[in-house]
Structure 1
């Protein structure tokens, strides 16, 4: 029998990335959006993955407004459907620090036309990720200090206790709609402070005491 694929290399063989939008109270207030009553979900293809050290993150062709969104990523270790919330953490294998890079100009055009904003989220290099952190190294995913700097300036800073929907709730909610599989990544939302970046900018992010990462911004694809 073949050995199971290493969860720490999930980005090489995992099948989907599920993003959660508007999941921080302060971010909703910043955008003037109402607090959602249920999670807002979107998908990113696995071709978005950009492990640390594998090059810069780049906006899609013609993008003039590329934004950073720092997030706690949850890596699924055991698949399932209709997962009860009180058993959801049994399906977590670990975590990563992630960036949900967004082409905000593409997104604005799509919203204006009333069409899906796939291109704003799904371009190559749109999901930079840190090294994998085993579940045992995070005692409580709802009590993590997380920040992002651009060229040394703090742009985003939060504690994950500001999440509207907790990690167990999100896992349970997603699994009612689609089967979660080993190696899937869930992006749990971004805090306030989202802003634009330019080529040659340096992005630095950290979940304090857990994991840190650095990326540069390159020219568009």
Structure 2
């Protein structure tokens, strides 16, 4: 049948060495995947299994953009993350199969309306208002897995202006990338176009209009974001 109206095409993320972009299908995000960050949020890591929340593909913002300070919050936080791009169909996959299905890696920011997230947490409600909003999934250029040495002890960091806020190592991840993808594939038929934001280290904090955020991971193109006035 024909569509009643047009909707936006999936956002495209630039890929190093490619003219074509990576189309985003879904965004999965891992919660509390660094023990120090969980502690600073007053929580503990669930070492039995990871847990997730999602963002819509429409939340994607490319590195270098300026976004308006989002509505409904007075406590917008930055969260620097390693992003994994899936490049092959997966369902009930082993960790070896998960590793082979990675298309590439990128730097990302999980922008969070912290006050709304914490209010939902107190009421034992979903985090959607705090996490799944427009312009909340920032991503840099994807580096293909074949040109990246793999996730190891790379430094992950974030600055607001010239102030270092987050500074850690990917080796601090509680759940590794293959473990996360394998686990997630028990519940979803993963496919090309799916992104996985793998969690943030300690040091998250507020940003305000006029701030410039820069984050990086060794071997990947940095991600940058400017915060503009509220709409």
Structure 1 and Structure 2 fold alike (TM over 0.5): yes
- Deviation digits for residues 134-157 of structure 1 (CA, Å, limit 9, x no counterpart): 112221213211100001110001
Q: Report how far residue 86 of structure 1 moved.
A: 2.1
More helix by share: 1
Q: TM-score of the superposition, structure 1-length normalised? A: 0.91
Partner of 1:108: 118
Distance, in Å, in 1 between the alignment partners of 2:225 and 2:122 is 31
Partner of 1:198, secondary structure, is coil
2:91 aligned counterpart, secondary structure: coil
Report the CA distance between 1:192 and its aligned residue: 0.2
Deviation of 1:218 after TM superposition, in Å, equals 1.7
Question: Is the 2:38–2:45 Cα contact (8 Å) retained in structure 1?
Answer: yes
Aligned position for 1:72: 82
210-219 or 119-128, which deviates more = 210-219
Deviations 1:161-218 (A, max 9, x none): 0000000000000000111110110000000000000001010111123221221112
For 1:99 and 1:6, how far apart are their aligned partners in 2?
14
Question: 1:30-76 CA distances to partner (integer Å, 9 max, x unpaired)?
Answer: 223222121110110001100123x3234431310000000000000
1:27 aligns with 2:46: no
The aligned counterpart of 1:44 is 55
- CA RMSD across the alignment: 1.7
For 2:3, the equivalent position in structure 1 comes to: none
The residue aligned with 2:154 is 144
Gap runs ≥5 in structure 2:
1-11, 16-20
The 8 Å contact of residues 58 and 126 in structure 1, kept in 2 or not, is answered as no
| Farther off after superposition, 84-93 or 190-199 | 84-93
Note the C-alpha offset of 1:7: 8.0
* Count of residues in Structure 1 that have an aligned counterpart in Structure 2: 214
Distance 1:86 1:16, change over 3 A: same
Distance of 1:67 and 1:6 partners within structure 2:
23
Structure 1 segment 73-92 matched on structure 2, within 5 A: 73-92=83-102
Deviations 1:116-149 (A, max 9, x none): 1201111111011111111122212132111000
Asked whether the equivalents of residues 69 and 209 of structure 2 are also in contact (C-alpha less than 8 Å), the reply is no
Distance 1:62 1:7 in 2: 31
Given that 1:202 and 1:217 are in contact with CA atoms closer than 8 Å, whether structure 2 keeps it comes out as yes
Q: Which runs of 5+ in 1 are unaligned?
A: none
TM-score (norm 2): 0.87
- Aligned residue for 1:111, secondary structure, equals helix
Q: Which residue of 1 aligns with 2:172?
A: 162
SS in 1 for 2:83: strand
